Amino acid sequence: MNSSRLVSIGIPTYNRAGLVVQAIQSVRQQTYPHLEIIVSDDCSSDDTAARVSRIPEPRLLYHRTAGNLRPPRNWNECVRLAHGEYFALLPDDDVYYPEFIAEMVGCLEQQPEIAFVQCAYDVADLELRPLRAVLPAPDPLTLRGERALRWQFQGLHCLPATLVFRRAAMLAAGLWREDYWDDWAFILRLAYRLGFTYLPRRLAITRQHGQNLNRRLARELRDAIADLINQQADVFGAALPATSGLVALRARLDRQLSQHCLLSALGALRRGEPRLAWRRLQRAHQLYALAGADLGWLKLGWRIRREQRRAARARVAARSKPPLMTFALVP
pLDDT digits (tens, 9 = 90+) for 125-143: 999 999 999 999 999 999 9
Task: Please give the mean pLDDT across all residues of the chain.
Answer: 93
Give yes or no: residues 205 and 293 share one domain: no
Q: Please say if the pLDDT value at position 221 is more than 70.
A: no
Position 233 in a domain: no
Per the domain annotation, does 1 fall within a domain? no
Let me know if residue 137 belongs to a domain: yes
Pinpoint the alpha helices (H) of the chain. 17-28, 48-53, 73-81, 100-110, 145-153, 167-173, 185-193, 213-219, 224-238, 244-270, 274-287, 296-318
User: Residue 225: inside a domain, yes or no?
Assistant: no
Looking at the domain assignment, is residue 230 inside a domain?
no
One domain for residues 172 and 262: no
Q: Are 204 and 248 part of one and the same domain?
A: no
Q: What integer is the mean pLDDT of 16-36?
A: 96
Tally Cβ neighbours within 10 Å of residue 42: 21
- With vertex at residue 265, the alpha carbon angle to CA 259 and CA 271, rounded to the nearest 5 degrees, is 145
Residues 255, 178: one domain? no
% of the chain at pLDDT higher than 90: 88
Any domain includes 211: yes
Average pLDDT over residues 285-312: 92
Across the range 99-113, mean pLDDT stands at 96
Q: What is the mean pLDDT of residues 176-192?
A: 95
Report CA-CA distances (Å) from 192 to 165, 214, 237, 254, 305. 14, 25, 11, 19, 32
How many domains would you assign to the chain?
2
Which H or E run includes 294?
Answer: none
The b-or-e profile of 279-302 (16+ CB within 10 A means b, else e) is bbbebbeebbeebeebeebeebbe
Domain shared by 165 and 207, yes or no: yes
Domain boundary among 215, 233, 250: 215
In terms of domains, do 43 and 178 share one? yes
- Which residues are within 8 A (CB) of 62 and not within 5 positions of it... i.e. 6 or more apart? 39, 41, 49, 52, 53
| Predicted confidence band of residue 105 (pLDDT cuts 50, 70, 90) | very high
Minimal CA–CA distance to 317: which of 123, 131, 133, 134? Answer: 131
pTM for this entry: 0.93
Give me the pLDDT at residue 109, please: 96
Say whether both 69 and 34 belong to one domain. yes
37-90 pLDDT, tens digit per residue, is 999 999 999 999 999 999 999 999 999 999 999 999 999 999 999 999 999 999
Domain assignment of residue 249, yes or no: yes
Residue 328 lies in a domain: no
pLDDT tens for residues 235-274? 999 999 999 999 999 999 999 999 999 999 999 999 999 9
**Structural domain range at position 300:** 241-318
Q: How many CB atoms lie within 10 A of CB 100?
A: 29
**Are residues 254 and 211 part of one domain?**
no
pLDDT of residue 77: 97
- 118 and 208, same domain (yes or no): yes
Query: Are 16 and 97 contained in the same domain?
Result: yes
The answer, yes or no, to whether residue 116 has pLDDT greater than 60, is yes
| CA–CA dist 56, 70 (Å, integer) | 27
Residue 224 has pLDDT above 90, yes or no: no
Q: How far, CA to CA in Å, does 83 sit from each of 57, 166, 282?
A: 17, 11, 48
Q: Is 22 in the same domain as 116?
A: yes
The Cα 6–Cα 320 span in angstroms is: 40
Domain check: are 100 and 158 in the same one?
yes
Instruction: Report the CATH number that the domain containing residue 192 is assigned in CATH.
Output: 3.90.550.10
pLDDT at 185: 97
Q: Which amino acid is at 170?
A: M
Of the chain, the end-to-end C-alpha distance in Å amounts to 36
Q: What share of the chain has pLDDT > 70, as a percent?
A: 95
Report the distance separating Cα 227 and Cα 113, nearest Å: 30
Mean pLDDT across 5-28: 96
- Express each pLDDT in 165-175 by its tens digit: 999 999 999 99
